[in-house]
Amino acid sequence: MKISGFPASGRLKKLLCLLLPGLLLVSLTSSCSDRKEKIFRKSRILMDTLVTISVVADSGEKAEKAMERAFDEIASLDGTLNFFSGRSEVSLINRNAGVSPVEVSPSTIDLLTKALSASEKTEGAFDATIGPEIALWDFAAGRMPDDKTVRARLPLVNYKRLRVDRERSTAYLSERGMSIDLGAIAKGYAADRAVEELKELGIGAGLVSVAGDIKGFGLKPDGGAWKIGIRNPRATGADDIMATIELRDEAVSTSGDYERYFIKDGKRYHHILDPGTGYPSPWCRSVTVIAKDGVDADSFSTAVFVMGPERGMDVLRTMGFEGVIVDREGKVHVTPALRDRIEFQRNH
Ligand code: AMP
Ligand code: MG
């Protein structure tokens, strides 16, 4: 899914990089218990990335059915939120910017409402109306826009000009040229929705990962928690894990400056933009957020990345979320309650 404002070309090439998301699934070997429950796992390319679902079940048939339903749910969101498909609801909203409100499905209203709430709570550091700025950058080709254009488009980035009417089920961008890009929130939301489907089909434990946005529930058959690896943002290999965390009915997301970027004249230009400047935010290398819901972990990992370590830690505290920030110098900041739960690897 082109949920973010990147051209289709080069995205599949990028897929290999997405196999190395900020969060890595570890310890997923199947193990049997007295109850004969096992872990079943399946992956699929959806939302233009690798989606992996693991479920604990006592029969392959039950697991298969539940995983298919969860994949279908993600595929359906993909169709609704796809940035480039002319038929998606997001495209419809974008095409009608400054023209008229458009009617969209309840789940799009739900997600846009959550996006607006994240903007309000982060003083606009998260802003789903980043579309006009993100469209100027081509990270795959290493092309940066000229400064005049970046500045000219800044007034088009303003979440306050995105009007969501829940009663009428409509969304409206009030200025021509505005556009929504849900790349920083949709994957976490999709993980939430997939988990809901799994639970509805009677699955008591599982893990859904949409690239670096992961949601876990229940325990593995051996009674252990799902273990997640946080990638070293300056990793040289795919398995360079900085730390591990056990997930307890919660979601975890990482935003990193290593996911889509290029280096020009010794400077790194990456895909997480400061909505106030239109340029990549310079304060962090990676931010991992743990929250109950994937939609929060995803949107706040992006927002905290933009806010930087000081304001970022404040907002995590206010929201009651946990997190790990690797700042621009490589210094690691961990929220107090997470310090007992996080396990750093030797040499980190
Ligand atoms: P994530 O990897 O979740 O941090 O999402 C990054 C993606 O979200 C980028 O590729 C853009 O499509 C979009 N994005 C970039 N900067 C922002 C921002 N400040 N607020 C909201 N979305 C953003
Ligand atoms: Mg995000």
Nearest ligand 1 atom, CA 253? 3
Instruction: Please give the distance, rounded to the nearest whole angstrom, from the Cα atom of residue 253 to the centre of ligand 2.
Output: 7
Nearest to 179 by CA among 133, 136, 129, 134: 129
Is the C-beta atom of 221 inside 6 A of ligand 1? no
Is the C-beta atom of 273 inside 6 A of ligand 1? yes
Instruction: Please give the distance, rounded to the nearest whole angstrom, from the Cα atom of residue 323 to the centre of ligand 2.
Output: 13
Is the C-beta atom of 271 inside 6 A of ligand 1? yes
Q: For atom 18 of ligand 1, which residue has the closest CA? A: 126
CB-proximal residues (5 Å) to ion ligand 2: 184, 298, 301-302
Provide the pLDDT for residue 238. Answer: 73
Nearest to 157 by CA among 132, 123, 181, 126: 132
**CA 122-128-131 angle, 5° bins:** 135
E strands in the chain:
23-26, 38-46, 49-57, 102-103, 162-165, 170-173, 206-210, 213-217, 226-231, 241-247, 251-256, 261-264, 267-270, 284-291, 322-327, 332-334, 343-344
Instruction: Please give the distance, rounded to the nearest whole angstrom, from the Cα atom of residue 186 to the centre of ligand 2.
Output: 8
Q: Which ligand ends up closest to the CA of 47? A: 1
E strands in 206-271:
206-210, 213-217, 226-231, 241-247, 251-256, 261-264, 267-270
Buried b vs exposed e over 321-332: b needs ≥16 C-beta within 10 Å? bbbbbbbeeeeb
Provide the pLDDT for residue 237. Answer: 78
Buried b vs exposed e over 270-290: b needs ≥16 C-beta within 10 Å? bbbbbbeebebbebbbbbbbb
Q: Probe ligand 1: pick from 130, 154, 259, max atoms within 8 Å of CB?
A: 130
Q: Retrieve residue 207's tokens.
A: 């893990």
Instruction: Please give the distance, rounded to the nearest whole angstrom, from the Cα atom of residue 301 to the centre of ligand 2.
Output: 5
Q: What is the dihedral of CA 342, 343, 347, 348, to 10 degrees?
A: -10
Q: Give the whole-angstrom CA distance, residue 120 versus residue 201.
A: 35
Which regions of the chain are under pLDDT 50? 1-20, 26-33
Is the C-beta atom of 131 inside 6 A of ligand 1? no
Q: For atom 3 of ligand 1, which residue has the closest CA? A: 184
Q: Give the whole-angstrom CA distance, residue 252 versus residue 270.
A: 21
Is the C-beta atom of 306 inside 6 A of ligand 1? yes
DSSP, collapsed to helix, strand or coil, labels residue 20 as coil
Provide the pLDDT for residue 348. Answer: 63
Provide the pLDDT for residue 112. Answer: 98
Provide the pLDDT for residue 86. Answer: 83
DSSP, collapsed to helix, strand or coil, labels residue 76 as helix
Distance of CA 169 to the CA centre of its chain: 24
